[in-house]
Structure 1
Amino acid sequence: MSFSKEESDRKVIPLWDSSKLASSLAENSAIRSTNHQTTDVSESERLMEEFSRSSAVGTAIELLNSAKLENNRKGELLASRRIIEDGCLPASVISMARITLEEEQAPLEATDPKDRIKAIRKSLIDSPKNTLAWVDLAREYISLGQGEPAERAMIVALGLAPNHRWVSRVASRLYIHLGDIERSHYLLARHPAIKTDPWIASAELAVSQMIGKVSKNLTSARRIHELGLHPRHTTELASSLGTLEIESGAIKRAKKYIRDSLVHANRNTLAQALWAEQRHDIKSDHHSQVKSLEIAYEAKARESYIQGEAEPAIAHALDWFAAEPFSSKPPVLASYIASLDDQYELIIDITKKGLIANPNNSILKLNRAYAELAMITPLHPSEQDREKLPTWITLFTEELKEGGSHHAQALANFGILCYRMGMLEEGRKYYEAAERVCQAESYRDPVLCTIYHAREALLAKAEWATTILERARAITQKTADVGKLEGSGSLEKVNQLHASPDHYRAIFKIPDTSTTKPTKNPGHLEFADSILSGLSFHLPGDFKLR
């Protein structure tokens, strides 16, 4: 299980919403200067004004294309009615206009992504140049873990609108998900508006930070920030600049940029401000904005988690997951917080869904395994439990190989497995190794790992259980910055277990498996030997088998 090795390098990378939601957001609106006295209209607004003077069908076609890209619904309808009225245009143009008008009575959106894909593909037969539909198709595919068709759809969208701000930003987000960070950066760095558009500049800065490069556009990004543009357009740029200053150690400048990002914050910059406060103690007045912005799901989830409120934290994390179904971060956070609240079946459900788009995510796999292990009746594994042993062992073994980044979780999961199977001494060895790794790899602290160790030792009635519990109490007491859910909340349940061991199912919400047939011959010692003989060389160098 994850022991809250906190996200130390959050970047302000572009979010990727459906085109319908994105149409109402600042990044899809015209950029206006707070110092400029004239009205700055978008391309579709300019064409609407021209169309009102001439009603030319050629202008209507231009308006329809522009209005779709800019999500100007009024312009779309105005142009579509004129195109249908003309009736002598190419079939593809008439079809696009007809579909636009039919959407006025649009049915409820399908809930199954496969059905949404079918609907989008059907619409593209009639309107193959609908850029936003291609972007939405890519999003649906990547949410199902289908990277290749997602990339193909996005390539079409980029071909149709190579310089469109939102299309370029979400395309870069797709390549981040696919692990092609260099391609993501290339799309942004080559954009013709890189030196003038705050949204492109912000994204390029963030992706540059991800690949460890100093952006060649840093000077122009700072200049854009000082142009006096409306703060809703510079919020992510200010946040990216602040993050860069944090990395360079210039905390005073970082604080200024973070404050600037909150003048007209969006959900991305609110989450970044929360991260900056939690990780670098950069205080800012963002808490009231988090509460008031309905779609600030990530920030709401993290804030509730920090405040020790498990249920709302999980609910907000699941809302975040629904908004970004392709991202691994929402299900990782939701499953982690659910583990602190002993909601094991919910963890399994969350991780199952998260692994659809992220089938190789180790944390999700380890979190799912932890939930499955936590539901084993202590010392009485069932036949069904034993059938899962090969899967668990393979997963933990792979993670413990050189290069794995989640050693502590894998070691601790081996620990709970051994304890639940009745191999007490081996469980102790693995948990102690996990505690050492937590300390060595700069986890916030090994508090939760030690508390879980005490829980498993008490459940297994190990003779050293009280000693581990005392150590957990001492560590929790002297660690000031441990979260309530990880620290005092988790320790309190273990204290209850120590006082009332027969009530462990109620305390830890372990399902009653009295109808499940226990294993007849666990083969505890043989199983323990097979684990240790195969993994001892992966343990920390100073760890000795006893």
Structure 2
Amino acid sequence: MTIEGGELSSPPPMSEKYVPSPLVPSFIEKLSYWRTDPSIVSAGELLEASLVEGVESEAVTAARFLVSPSSTATLPIRRLAALALKRAGKSDDIPEGVKVFDTGDKRAWRTRTRQHPDNPLAWVELSLHEVIGGKREEARRAMRVALQLAPDSRHVLRSAARMFLHLHEPDVAHDILLRSARTPFDPWLMSAELAIAELADRDPRFFVQGKKLVGSGTLRPRQSTELSSALGTLELVAGGRKKARDFFRDSLIDPTGNALAQAEWASPAFGIELVQARRLSLTNEAGEATALHLLREQKSEGVTEACERWSASEPYSIRPFEVGSGTAAAMGKYTDALAIAQRGLLIRPSAPWLLNNRAFALIHLGRMKEAENSLRSIHKTDEPTWFVSEANRGLLAMRRGDYAAGLASYRAAIDGFKEIQKPGYAVIAQTFLAREAGIAGLPQAKALIKEAREAGAFTGQDVILKEAEEALNRPRLEATPPLTGSAGSAQP
């Protein structure tokens, strides 16, 4: 995915004018070398360049030469050639005895680091798989080895910075980038430094240099996309809307998935459509941007599928699972919501949003004890997720028939959201309180429904309140439930 995104390719010299082309000058030079002097050396150099630039189809002849029965290339080079043939859609040309290296198995990377302990990329891949498996210390150790082996490698530095962000250590991530001698000259590393500085609550070091580099016009759009995106974000946060808009527009000429997602995040601030829907289908790793785009347009259908693609490109992140499970739950797809939340919790078992989404789904599926256990794992220091858990405790109590406790928990959640300046969350809690009061047939249900409508609106609110009103207006065979009690069904 890194290769396909163009992150490893080299920008042309600063003096060169950008000409749209899939082939950079350094690759054309190696291609010419191979054609004028076909040998194992020239074929190997072309092969490696094609993999880095993501243009394996241009090196098919060289790859066939390297895997041919008469070739004296070493086994690792033959396997690399087989990988290039596979990526170029020429798997039938791979000899039966040459095995393509499996990049999706942690055991394979563990073996590779033992066989080639000085290979930094192998240590990065091992670290990635350790993170996905929730083994944080093992991931940290593997990445430290990669950094020692290649302290100025763009791929290693960006991977390390992203891993330490995942481990909630933004200061460490930022320091790694600052220490590298390459960062002041590399647009990919500059973009990471600008973004991480904000998360680390530090002043960005390369803001001015980044603006000069983008303004020079010497970078190909793919090379400047993430730097322009980071500059646009900082300008927007600082109130420079016009400059921010110009940077975001530059970032979308040939964007990565990250740049697309950042532009989607920024779109509401400008009141315009920064990202065209067509662009979402043309860019690799557009899962996150697609999910944000659909949510912004209030189109819940398709969000969970987009989150699947988002998760495939960032398998270490819990964010696609948070968004996917929350959206599925809001649509009433509680079984799907539970399954998505469970997958995210495999990565980070203590993630409070996922625990809340899991509890919400479990309550609606009637699995009350499991929901209670899920809520018990959320700590009071986690705001605003603590107040979300208070609302979920209110839902759980109401469904168990303990209406007094349910009302108290919902009120605590609403007051808490208002106190931390989250009025939208307060409206959602008020709306669900009104729904539960209507389902339970509480005396104050009509007043709560009215109160929720007057508090504000959000997508899906009308459906929820209509459910409350319909439940309240249904004929009842029993008296209105009391406001106290701890047992019994929430359904009258």
TM class, shorter-chain normalised? 0.7 to 0.9
* Distance apart, 1:495 and its partner CA: 3.8
Distance 2:440 2:382 in 1: 32
In the alignment, which residue of structure 2 is the partner of 1:450?
430
1:140 is paired with a residue whose SS is: helix
Bigger RCO of structures 1 and 2 (CA < 8 A, at least 6 apart): 1
Q: How many angstroms apart in 2 are the aligned matches of 1:282 and 1:320?
A: 25
**2:419 paired residue number:** 440
Name structure 2 gaps, 5 residues minimum: 86-90, 477-483
Of 273, 282, 292, the match for 1:302? 292
Q: Kindly state the Cα deviation for residue 67 of structure 1 after the two structures are TM-superposed.
A: 5.8
Structure 1 segment 184-333 matched on structure 2, within 5 A = 184-228=173-217, 229-278=219-268, 280-293=269-282, 295-333=285-323
Aligned: 1:29 with 2:33: no
Aligned-residue offset at 1:58: 6.0
Distance of 1:429 and 1:108 partners within structure 2: 61
Look up the match of 1:394: 376
Note closer, same or farther for the CA distance 1:435–1:460 as it changes in structure 2 (3 Å cut): same
> Which residue, 444, 454, 467 being the options, matches 1:464?
444
Structure 1 residues 203 and 47 mapped into 2: Cα distance closer, same or farther (>3 Å)? Answer: same
For 1:238 and 1:41, locate their aligned partners in 2 and report how far apart those are by CA, in whole Å: 21
Cα 1:77–1:439 change in 2 (3 A) is farther
TM-fit CA distance, 1:203: 0.8
Contact in 2 for aligned 1:273/1:284 (Cα 8 Å):
no
Q: Out of 45, 62, 66, which is 1:78 matched to? A: 62
Match of 1:385 in 2: 368
2: CA distance between counterparts of 1:155 and 1:501? 67
Q: 1:59 to 1:159 in 2, by over 3 A?
A: farther
User: Which of 328, 331, 334 matches 1:341?
Assistant: 331
Q: 1:67-102 CA distances to partner (integer Å, 9 max, x unpaired)?
A: 655556456983895699674xxxxx8231132244
Q: Deviations over 1:219-267 (max 9, x none)?
A: 1111111121222221211111111112222223222222222233332
Q: Between Structure 1 and Structure 2, how many residues are aligned?
A: 461
CA distance in 2, matches of 1:218, 1:285: 23
Distance (whole Å) between structure 1 residues aligned to residue 102 and residue 40 of structure 2: 34
Q: 2:462 aligned with 1:488, yes or no?
A: yes
Offset, 1:373: 1.6
Question: Deviation digits for residues 437-470 of structure 1, max 9, x if unmatched?
Answer: 2222222522211111011112222221221112
> For residues 102 and 452 of structure 2, what CA distance do their matches in structure 1 show?
49
Answer whether contact 2:3 2:51 (CA < 8 A) is retained. Answer: no
Write the distance in 1 (CA, Å) between the matches of 2:18 and 2:385. Answer: 56
Q: TM-score scaled by structure 2?
A: 0.82
Q: In the alignment, what sits opposite 2:354?
A: 364
Query: Cα RMSD between the aligned structures?
Result: 3.4
Structure 1 letter corresponding to 2:437: A
User: For residues 500 and 32 of structure 1, what CA distance do their matches in structure 2 show?
Assistant: 71
CA contact (8 A) 1:64 1:80 kept: no
The code of the aligned residue for 1:385 comes to M
Q: Is the 8 A contact 2:307 2:321 kept in 1?
A: yes
Cα contact 2:387–2:413 (8 A) shared by 1: yes
Select the residue among 145, 153, 156 that pairs with 1:164. Answer: 153
* Same amino acid, percent of matched pairs: 27
Please state how far the C-alpha of 1:316 moved relative to its aligned partner.
1.2
Note closer, same or farther for the CA distance 1:352–1:389 as it changes in structure 2 (3 Å cut): closer
Look up the equivalent residue of 1:419 and give its one-letter code: M
The answer on whether the counterparts of 1:421 and 1:524 sit within 8 Å (CA) in structure 2 is no
Q: Counterparts of 1:109 and 1:308 in 2: how far apart (Å)?
A: 43
Q: Once the two structures are superposed, what CA deviation does each residue of 1:410-440 show, in whole Å capped at 9, x if it has no partner?
A: 2101111211111111211111121122222
Shift of 1:117: 1.5
Partner of 2:389: 410
Asked if the contact 2:193–2:205 (Cα under 8 Å) also holds between the matched residues in 1, the reply is: no
- Partner residue of 1:13? none
SS at structure 1 position matched to 2:446: helix
Deviations 1:92-114 (A, max 9, x none): x8231132244344889989x6x
Verify the 8 A CA contact 1:242 1:256 in the aligned structure 2. Answer: yes
Which structure 1 segments of 5+ residues have no match?
1-20, 88-92, 377-383, 503-522, 528-546
Q: Provide TM-score, normalisation by structure 1.
A: 0.75
Q: Is the 8 A contact 1:134 1:156 kept in 2?
A: yes
